[in-house]
Amino acid sequence: MKTLSLIFSVMLAGVLFSGCRTTAGTSVVMNHDTGSSVIYEGNTRLHNNMAVTAVTYNKVPNGLNRVNIQLTSLVQRDQYLQYRIAWFDADGMEIDAETRTYRPLLLHGLDSVTVTGVANSPAAVTSRLRVREERSLPR
């Protein structure tokens, strides 16, 4: 009886904690002063299903930095993703993190899509694109 209750407790804990897991994603870090970009892969499935195929950056007329990142699907099925572009100052501190939420992104099979972000401060010199899988299926 004790063994049965232990097995049940372990199964219940597994079910409860499975809903709390975080989804690691793919990040692209761009330095707008030097022109360099680095891709960090934090999710093997995303790494195998999509690729960053182009990164361009420039300034908008008001002097703020803008980044354009092209993502390409490597699989034939649709991918329901979320993305967020965060901006950082010269000291590496994130600027106004509370205003940048994840946005939905549908990446069709073997297709490409470009995401664009504009800095919200002239102090922004580096940006980071974060992509993660959507936690629940769309309706």
The whole-angstrom separation of Cα 114 and Cα 136 is: 23
3-state secondary structure of 24: coil
The domain tally of the chain equals 1
Give the residue, 25 or 94, on which the prediction is more confident: 94
**Is 9 within the bounds of a domain?**
no
**Is 11 within the bounds of a domain?**
no
Which range marks the domain in which residue 38 is found? 21-133
Query: Chain-wide mean pLDDT for the chain?
Result: 77
**pLDDT tens digit sequence for 36-74:** 666 666 777 787 888 888 888 899 999 999 999 999 999
Identify the band that residue 7 occupies on the pLDDT scale cut at 50, 70 and 90. very low
Give the residue, 136 or 82, on which the prediction is more confident: 82
**Is 13 within the bounds of a domain?**
no
Burial 100-136 (b: 16+ CB within 10 A, else e): beeeebebeeeeebebebebeeeebbbbbbbbbeeee
The CATH number of whichever domain residue 69 belongs to comes to: 2.60.40.3230
